[in-house]
């Protein structure tokens, strides 16, 4: 365990109110009327495809990009127009910007020296930060003598050592290979628990978002489509975009008027006969196109009568309901579908530009 008394501090919330960003020379806002309350100590993730406005939103919180409209507060104080270093926020980006000529310990001490922290306290805090990221043995190394993952840990230590109000992380694991990424994910989750600090984490990786977050805000074209805990977003997607961005889904028309029913693969039942489906359960005939073994489960590819494709999931060891090329009846319990507006409706809603209407 590290020493929360040395590095931990009271948590702070962040309130984002009607924030927009229109970059000069562009016609579409990069961030479009975003409002979000981030609770003290929360692990909040901005998830979305490339270009959806995540980095722009995080950069406005950090103070690197000016707001076009709206305000950002920490603890009720408007910080929208403060210089980055006055906001008291820790920042870690994908490309670790460590000082190459300074040792690990001096890199971590740097923000404390800038803040004129007394020498003895600097030593204690650097030690605690090194312990937090498990790099005690590496204090005297230069960045180039470390692996990519270790350099990113140094960046993490340097970002939290001066006890910022919150830690902002923009795809910090994006440059690492899968195994290292998984390992650092667990480290970041542990750091969050030990520090109790507010974290805002940006990623385009849905699995990373589901694993780490207290809540996820799903970004699409500069707007937040939905905010909620991982299970809620997965089980109850509010829009087609959220359903399709987080995991796989089957999308069915004709279940409810003007809406689509979204059914997750593990909720889809497959039977050989229609009369085996319980009364009141929606059902669709399908063709099994392929079955793929994915280690802990089989993914059963389906094509429905209307030409759309989908899939079901069976844990390994469970009997498979059919073979490729065979027909099945797909069905589900109505309680297991989420009704969403179809994408054409969603799109018109989302097209009004900043400052109009």
Give the footprint of ligand ADP on this chain (CB under 6 A): 23, 26, 30, 48, 50-56
- Residue closer to ligand ADP by CB (options 94, 345) is 94
Phi and psi torsions of 40, nearest 5° = -55, 130
**What is the nearest approach in angstroms of ligand ADP to the Cβ of residue 177?**
21
Q: Which is nearer to ligand ADP, 56 or 74 (CB)?
A: 56
Q: Which does 48 bind (CB under 5 to 8 A by kind): ligand ADP, Mg ion, none?
A: ligand ADP
Nearest CB to Mg ion, comparing residues 55 and 185: 55
281 contacts: CB under 8 Å, gap ≥ 6: 269, 331, 332, 333, 334
Beta carbon of residue 82, minimum distance to ligand ADP (angstroms, whole number):
20
From ligand ADP, Mg ion, none, which one binds at residue 52 (CB under 5 to 8 Å depending on kind)?
ligand ADP
Pairing of strands 77-78, 89-93: unpaired
Shortest distance, position 28 Cβ to ligand ADP, whole Å: 7
* Tokens at 303, concatenated: 């094509």
Q: In angstroms, rounded to a whole number, what is the distance separating the alpha carbons of residues 43 and 230?
A: 11
Report helix, strand or coil for 168: strand
Measured from the CB atom, is 55 or 107 closer to ligand ADP?
55
Supply the minimum distance, in Å, between the C-beta of residue 177 and Mg ion. Answer: 20
Among 112, 98, 77, 203, CA closest to 156:
98
Interface residues with Mg ion (CB under 5 A)? 55
* Minimal distance, residue 50 CB to ligand ADP, in Å: 4
Contacts of 42 (CB under 8 A, 6+ apart): 13, 198, 199, 214, 215
Give the nearer residue to ligand ADP in terms of CB position, either 30 or 242: 30
Residue with smaller CB distance to Mg ion, 55 or 107: 55
- DSSP secondary-structure letter at 318? S
Residues 6+ apart with CB under 8 A from 302: 250, 286, 287, 288, 289, 309, 310, 311, 312, 328, 330
Tell me the C-alpha distance between 310 and 251, whole Å: 8
For the CB of residue 261, give the shortest distance to ligand ADP in the complex, in Å.
29
């Amino acid at each position: 365990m590290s020493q929360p008394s040395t590095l931990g501090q009271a948590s702070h919330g962040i309130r984002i109110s009607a924030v927009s960003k229109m970059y000069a020379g562009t016609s579409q806002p990069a961030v479009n009327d975003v409002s979000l309350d981030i609770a003290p100590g929360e692990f909040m993730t901005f998830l979305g495809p490339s270009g959806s406005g995540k980095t722009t939103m995080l950069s406005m919180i950090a103070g690197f990009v000016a707001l076009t409209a709206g305000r950002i507060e920490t603890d009720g104080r408007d910080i929208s127009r403060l210089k980055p270093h006055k906001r008291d926020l820790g920042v870690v980006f994908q490309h670790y910007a460590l000082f190459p000529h300074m040792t690990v310990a001096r890199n971590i001490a740097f923000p404390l020296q800038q803040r004129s922290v007394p020498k003895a306290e600097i030593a204690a805090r650097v030690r605690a930060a090194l312990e937090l990221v498990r790099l005690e043995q590496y204090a005297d190394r230069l960045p180039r003598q470390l692996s990519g993952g270790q350099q990113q840990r140094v960046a993490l230590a340097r970002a939290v050592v001066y006890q910022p109000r919150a830690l902002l992380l923009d795809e910090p694991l994006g440059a690492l290979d899968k195994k290292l990424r998984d390992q650092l994910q667990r480290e970041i989750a542990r750091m969050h628990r030990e520090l109790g600090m507010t974290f805002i984490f940006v990623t385009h990786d849905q699995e990373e978002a589901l694993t780490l977050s207290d809540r996820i805000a799903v970004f699409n074209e500069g707007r937040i489509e939905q905010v909620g805990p991982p299970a809620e977003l997965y089980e109850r997607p509010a829009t087609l975009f959220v359903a399709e961005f987080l995991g796989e889904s089957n999308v069915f028309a004709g279940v409810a008027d003007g809406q689509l029913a979204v059914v997750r693969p593990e909720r889809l039942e497959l039977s050989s006969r229609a009369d085996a489906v319980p009364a009141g359960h929606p059902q669709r005939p399908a063709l099994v196109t392929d079955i793929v073994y994915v280690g802990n489960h089989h993914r059963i590819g389906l094509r429905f009568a209307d030409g759309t494709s989908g899939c079901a999931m069976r844990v390994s060891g469970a009997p498979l309901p059919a073979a490729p090329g065979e027909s099945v009846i797909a069905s589900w319990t109505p309680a297991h579908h989420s009704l969403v507006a179809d994408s054409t409706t969603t799109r018109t809603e989302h097209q009004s530009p900043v400052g109009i209407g």
